[in-house]
Amino acid sequence: MLNRIFGLETEYGLLVHQDRPDHSPTWFAHKIRDHVFHVQRQGVLDLHHRGHDEPPGNGGFLTNAGRMYLDMGHLEYASPECHSLTDLVATDRAGDAILQQAIKDLDLSEQVSLIKNNVDHETDATFGSHENYLVSRRFPFTRRGLAPLVTFLVTRQIYTGSGRVGAASPQDAWIQMDRLIVPRASIGSRRGGPFLPFQISQRADHIVNDFFEWVQQNRAIVNTRDEPLADPNQYRRIHLLLGDSNMTEFATALKMGTTGLVLQLIEEGHAPCDLEINDPVEALQEISQDQDRQWVVQLQSGKTISALDIQEQFLEAAMLHCQGQDEETDWVLDQWTAALQDLRGTFEKLVGRVDWASKLWLLESFREAEKLEWTNPMLASLDLEYHNLNPEKGLYYGLLEEGRVPRLTTDKAIDLATVHPPRNTRAFGRGELIRHLLDCGPSVEDYEPKQQERYFPSYVINWSIFQVRGQAPFPMPDPFKTYVQEVRAHLSRV
């Protein structure tokens, strides 16, 4: 799409199918990571400390220029930089495929399942799906400038949500009120209520702020940390962590594509005005939990309006100012239009395209056939199975096999994306580096790093710069540039 770089980060749940397992989910996560890097040799592990919680060997970059690592015990995959939605969908699905293949190769399919969702029904924990969008440094990154984005993000869950059975317990959090930091509970936040059969978003219950800098414990609609991973004089990275992990390719592309267009509207001064929501966090949760799916919110003006009406105002602005700029934009506009039209009818029209609708249809069908109440724990189990990455077990893959799920990519494209980076971003150059290091690196048998590498690693790789021992650092500040010829020339001197 126009002037946009996209990226996705996915944390995976890991389910152990044993009443008294010999090993923890974290033990299996380490084993899967080690298989990908040591045995399959699909990438190179970090030899340096990336942070206090990322010691050497915690993860590394893959040949497709994405990263795989452990985050608080969870396997996490970060896609390479993508300049198109088709590349983004393929590289996102590639991460799923790499991890599922590792489980198969390790003969662990009967013992564990990787779950691409965002909640643990047993512990009430949540794990994320983070979105990244490159914008100009001139982007109005202020509360006033971001107000249209917040309104859009709160309401887009009606087609981006993955759905869940039940609700999370009330979240403890501190929020900023003027110059004070106060407990959210002190301002009358929701403190629990009757049992919820089903809601459309998994992450909504866990978002407690509109803006906040840090990710852990105080999850916000917009993360304000300024970490561009590019030339800070030219670019800013919009980092979002309120969204759900999606199984359908349609939902992934529509989520990222519509958000990219709204960012363009804000950049160009064309975003709809006077749609500021009175309490965005409360509205986010109320929309998700609305059992009647009316999705009405209150604006700061006192007016009430539905999430559908708000989304249609953003769509109209995008049609007016963005239509015709490129083929992918027009696809997003067409599908956005179709989704909103179908949402005014019955949710069954969206089965196969929107995850929450697909899951709800499956659960309702099963519930009616078995005459179950929503409180039956079998429904929570089926909720998880919708997200199972094993094609032989996952309910999403059952819909796919039945031909109910439209595809944006192909199995061949996904296979290629597991080993090859996009060829029109700096991921291409980083992929050349990873292949060079693998060709020159140790075999599986003598993988353990030499003693001196604990203090003077033979390479250091970050998103926007790398260094190979004996050479000067090689910066890659422009994500739109491939750097492939420059990287090859640089490595030829090593």
Which residues carry out catalysis? 71
Q: Is 7 within 8 Å of 79 (Cβ atoms)?
A: yes
Q: Which residue has the tokens 């250091």?
A: 460
Token output for 223: 């993360």
DSSP 80: P
Q: What is the DSSP secondary-structure string of 228-241?
A: -SS-TTTEEEEEE-
Q: What is the DSSP secondary-structure string of 436-458?
A: HHHHHS--STT-SPPGGGGTS-S
Q: Which residue has the tokens 């970060």?
A: 78
The closest of 410, 402, 415, 412 to 352, measured between CA atoms, is 402
**In sequence order, what are the residues at sequence separation of 6 or more whose Cβ sits closer than 8 angstroms to the Cβ of residue 323?**
329, 330, 333
Distance CA 111, CA 245 (A): 23
**In sequence order, what are the residues at sequence separation of 6 or more whose Cβ sits closer than 8 angstroms to the Cβ of residue 81?**
5, 6, 7, 65, 422, 425, 426, 427, 463, 479
304-306 and 296-298 beta bridge pairing: antiparallel
- Within a 10 A sphere around the Cβ of 453, how many other Cβ atoms? 15
Q: Is 336 within 8 Å of 155 (Cβ atoms)?
A: no
Q: What is the DSSP secondary-structure string of 43-71?
A: EEE--S--BTTB-TTSEEEETTS-EEEEE
Q: Which residue has the tokens 């003693």?
A: 451
